[in-house]
Structure 1
Amino acid sequence: MASTTTNPYTTTKEIAIEIPKFIRIYKDGTVERLIGSPFVPPSLQDPDTGVSSKDITISDNPSISARLYLPKLTQSNNQENQKIPILVYFHGGGFCVESAFSFLDHRYLNLIVSQSNVLAVSVEYRLAPEHLLPAAYEDCWTALKWVTSHLANSPINSDPWLTNHGDFLKLYLGGDSAGANIVHNIALRAGVESLSGGVKIVGAFLSCPYFWGLKPIGSESVAGHEQSNATLLWNIIYPDAPGGIDNPMINPVVPGAPSLAGLGCSKLLVVVTGKDSVRDRGVLYYEAVKKSGWKGEVELFEVEDEDHYFHAFNTETENSKNVIKRFASFLQF
């Protein structure tokens, strides 16, 4: 039996905070991400969907980039000026893991784009804890403004896919988990601040939105609520948030939060799953939007017996296919 020896000079780094199986932060500032799929390159034509993708730089300072997706155009509409809806998408991962360039997101966006026939811009925003919130919100707002700037056909930072094929009368936002949280906050901002050329957001889907709050609601457990992963995560990604876990960016229904009547889009789709720990927050958000006086149309779509963000991890199940079909239907009208 082989023996092992311990180096007496080896030191073990001290852990400052950890969310098991998710992220570990050491006292020396080192960050260890415990989940996440590998990066994959864009493809000229995905063999399964026919979708083409490419990576572009939106800003060097701060560093913001994106992966663009263009569906396979049919022969009848393969013209330089053929216009299709635009989806600006924000990936999930608790603001601190995953990427617009990861395998999971690449596969997922290929499916959404092929079934929806939209031009997608999947934003690579800066991650916490190296870049604490509100950095991600600012990056995504900058990315959205970059997209809408193409309406003016400016030669600066212009992308031919957006210029030639983007229909700016059909601009959508979408996101899962933390990305859905971003969608909400960007839509609120769009209700106050104008986008380039007066572009308006038609609709937004929020899938398994990461919302939380100090007081438990619905089926949330009272015991250990303050030590829940949702709370621990917020303390990692936005430790100085005014109001803590009741900051309006994470708890949009807290007293004093901006009115949901100000959402800057015409329709909303909120997707929740029955086994998701944040399920009741998504339902509460849907109900609050309905009661807010918002003039748009809001719909709740629930998938029972499924967990958080399940449809991106296993795209081949019937439930996953149904969610993606629902997105496609939402984005086509």
Structure 2
Amino acid sequence: METHADEVQIACDAFRIYRSGKMDRLHRPARTPAGLDPATGVTSKDVVLDTSTGLSARLFLPDLGARHSNSSKKLPVLIFFHGGAFLIESAVSPLYHGYVASLAAAAGVLAVSVEYRLAPEHPVPAAYDDAWAALLWAAAAQDEWLAEYGDVARLFLAGDSAGGNMVHNVLIRLASSDPAPRIEGAILLHPWFGGNTLVEGEEAAKAKEMTMIWEFACPDAAGGADDPRMNPMARGAPGLENLRCERMLVCSGEKDWAAARDRAYYAAVGASAWRGSAAWLESEGVGHVFFLEKSECAKARELMDRVVEFVAGS
């Protein structure tokens, strides 16, 4: 019996993936204009980082007047990678513009939200390469805001879902780079990890679906979901002692489909020879990246407060 190329393999609210390799993006968010955000007092602008790849970022500068009494101190620089399964979303969508603006205001950071290339047009590892290039660009203060207001001796990486996965992979890549920027802290918000063997508490059907999405985004994945970029605990993956940051905060939701993997990752980091300090926050009763669309709920405020405390050093 002939296989129909237009058969849908994966369907969700945001996209459809067909057996032929085609993908439909069902939700194309509007582009939020850069500028002053009255709700937070944060000003944003867009910068092209690499003309050859089209890599760009949206920078978020909090209201300096609000911290006038301490205006001589420069701001920590936080590099943010948005989620979306490597396939969808944008640093300039309403969802991520709003979240990163709120984060910059609450934590008092100069945020660099990276507009990395998406699969399938640009298969993974394009996203990882863009994340790496953005880090080096920010660390070199190659922008007037970063040079004037940013403290590049205090670099933070943050990301949600696929973006949290990207944070991990950048931290591992730093171990083989000399010289390498110093990362004070890493914030993994509901990071997307996987594996061919289920971990305790992982739901089989969802794990299978996420493996298919990963293999679609990364056609050259070695071993499917046991590719070290997706499964940091897989045989042959770089040891977690190679993580290059001083502190880490790993967050998940109690009802998050990624929670079991996130707990396993946090436990593995703690059991490794890594010399940094790791903290865990699990938000009760909520699902995957709930804080993006329910940013005003109590659990989202609790999560934001914990991120602010982490950046401040507590």
Could you state the TM-score of these two structures normalised by the residue count of structure 1? Answer: 0.88
In 2, distance between residues paired with 1:262 and 1:199?
14
1:141 aligns with 2:132: yes
Give the match's secondary structure for 1:323: helix
State how far apart, in whole Å, the 1-side matches of 2:223 and 2:69 are. 51
RMSD: 2.0
Is contact 1:66-1:123 (8 Å) kept?
yes
1:242 aligned onto 2:226: no
- The 2-side partners of 1:143 and 1:194 are apart by 17
CA contact (8 A) 1:19 1:233 kept: no
- Structure 1: runs of 5 or more not aligned: 1-11, 151-157
Aligned-pair identity in percent equals: 39
**1:170 alignment partner in structure 2:** 154
How far apart are 1:119 and its partner, in Å? 0.2
Deviations, residues 38-59 of structure 1 (Å, cap 9, x unaligned): 221112x211110000000001
Q: What's the counterpart of residue 55 of structure 2?
A: 64
Question: Which residue of 2 is the match for residue 53 of structure 1?
Answer: 44
For 2:23, the equivalent position in structure 1 comes to 31
2:216 alignment partner AA:
I
Question: Given residue 181 of structure 1, which amino acid in structure 2 is its aligned partner?
Answer: N
2:185 to 158, 178, 203: 203
Bigger Rg over Cα: 1
Distance 1:322 1:82, change over 3 A: same
Q: Aligned pair 1:306/2:283, yes or no?
A: no
Higher mean alpha-carbon deviation, 51-60 vs 66-75, is at: 66-75
Q: Which residue does the alignment assign to 2:106?
A: 115
2:188 matches 1:188: no
Is the 2:117–2:127 Cα contact (8 Å) retained in structure 1? Answer: yes
- Note the alpha carbon deviations across 1:198-241, whole angstroms, 9 max, x for none: 5300010101010011011111234x466x32112112101221
Aligned residues: 309
What is the correspondence of 1:1-333 to structure 2 with a 5 Å cutoff?
A: 14-15=6-7, 17-26=9-18, 30-35=22-27, 37-43=29-35, 45-74=36-65, 76=68, 82-150=73-141, 158-194=142-178, 199-222=181-204, 224=205, 228-333=208-313
Alignment check: 8 A CA contact 1:19 1:232 kept: no
Q: Which amino acid aligns with 2:182?
A: K
Give the drift of 1:27.
Answer: 6.8
Write the deviation string for residues 5-58 of structure 1: whole angstroms up to 9, x where unpaired: xxxxxxx99246433323224577653112353221112x21111000000000
Distance in 2 (alpha carbons) for counterparts of 1:282 and 1:27: 30
Per-residue deviation at 1:310?
Answer: 0.3
Shift, 1:326, TM fit: 1.0
Seen in structure 2, the aligned counterparts of structure 1 residues 27 and 285 have a Cα distance that, compared at 3 Å, is closer
3-state SS of 2:100 partner:
helix
Structure 1 280/27 Cα, relative in aligned 2: closer, same or farther at 3 Å?
closer
Structure 2 gaps, min length 5: none
Question: How far did 1:77 drift?
Answer: 5.6
- Counterpart-to-counterpart distance in 2, 1:288 and 1:130: 34
* Cα distance between partner residues in 2 of 1:135 and 1:40: 24
Q: How many Å separate the matches in 1 of 2:80 and 2:206?
A: 30
- 2: CA distance, partners of 1:27 / 1:304: 37
